[in-house]
Amino acid sequence: MGKRNRNVGIIGIGQTEYSSHKEDQNQPEMVNQAVRRGLADAGIGLDQVDCIIHGNMELFEMVHQPDMWHVLGSGAYGKEQLRITTGGTTGATLVCAADNLVASGVYDVVMAIGLEKLQEGNTTGGITNMADPLWFRNLQTGALSGTAASKVIDEFGADRSKRAAMNYRITMDKHACLNPRAHRRLGLEYDQIESLMASSPRLVGELQLIHMCSQSDGACVMIFASEEKAKALSDKPVWIRDHITVHREESYNIYGLEVPETTHHYAAQALFKRNGIPNPLEYFDVFEMYDPSAWWGLDWIREFLLLEDDEHLKLMEEGALKMDGKLPLNPSGGVTASNPIGATAMLRAAEAALQVRGDAGGHQIQKDVKHALASGFGGTMWTVLIMLEKELGWQEVDHG
Site residues (vs another protein, CB under 8 A): 19-21, 23-24, 124-125, 128-129, 131, 133-135, 137-142, 144-147, 150-151, 154, 173, 183-184, 186-188, 192, 195-196, 199-205, 208-210, 214, 248-249, 252-260
Indicate the residue among 104 and 138 with the shorter CB distance to another protein.
Answer: 138
Indicate the residue among 252 and 283 with the shorter CB distance to another protein.
Answer: 252
The C-alpha atoms of residue 74 and residue 84 are separated, in whole angstroms, by 15
Return all residues near 18 (Cβ < 8 A) that are at least 6 apart: 181, 182, 183, 216, 217, 218, 337, 338, 339, 340
Indicate the residue among 28 and 142 with the shorter CB distance to another protein.
Answer: 142
Q: How far is the CB of 253 from another protein (least distance, A)?
A: 5
Indicate the residue among 336 and 344 with the shorter CB distance to another protein.
Answer: 336
Q: How far is the CB of 234 from another protein (least distance, A)?
A: 32
Indicate the residue among 54 and 185 with the shorter CB distance to another protein.
Answer: 185
Q: How far is the CB of 132 from another protein (least distance, A)?
A: 9
Q: How far is the CB of 213 from another protein (least distance, A)?
A: 12
Indicate the residue among 76 and 203 with the shorter CB distance to another protein.
Answer: 203
Indicate the residue among 158 and 392 with the shorter CB distance to another protein.
Answer: 158
Q: How far is the CB of 100 from another protein (least distance, A)?
A: 24
Q: How far is the CB of 217 from another protein (least distance, A)?
A: 10
Q: How far is the CB of 190 from another protein (least distance, A)?
A: 13
The C-alpha atoms of residue 175 and residue 182 are separated, in whole angstroms, by 9
DSSP per position, 11-73: EEEEE---BS--TTS-HHHHHHHHHHHHHHHHT--GGG--EEEEE--HHHHT-SSHHHHTHHH
Burial of residue 173, with CB atoms counted within 10 A of its CB: 0-12 exposed, 13-18 middle, 19 or more buried: buried
Return all residues near 353 (Cβ < 8 A) that are at least 6 apart: 10, 13, 222, 238, 372, 388
Indicate the residue among 133 and 393 with the shorter CB distance to another protein.
Answer: 133
For the chain, give the number of residues: 400
Contacts 24+ apart (CB under 8 A), 256-265: 262/303, 262/381, 262/383, 263/381, 263/382, 263/383, 264/300, 264/303, 264/304, 264/375, 264/377, 264/383, 264/385, 265/303, 265/304, 265/306
Closest CA to 352 of 322, 390, 298: 390
Q: How far is the CB of 350 from another protein (least distance, A)?
A: 22
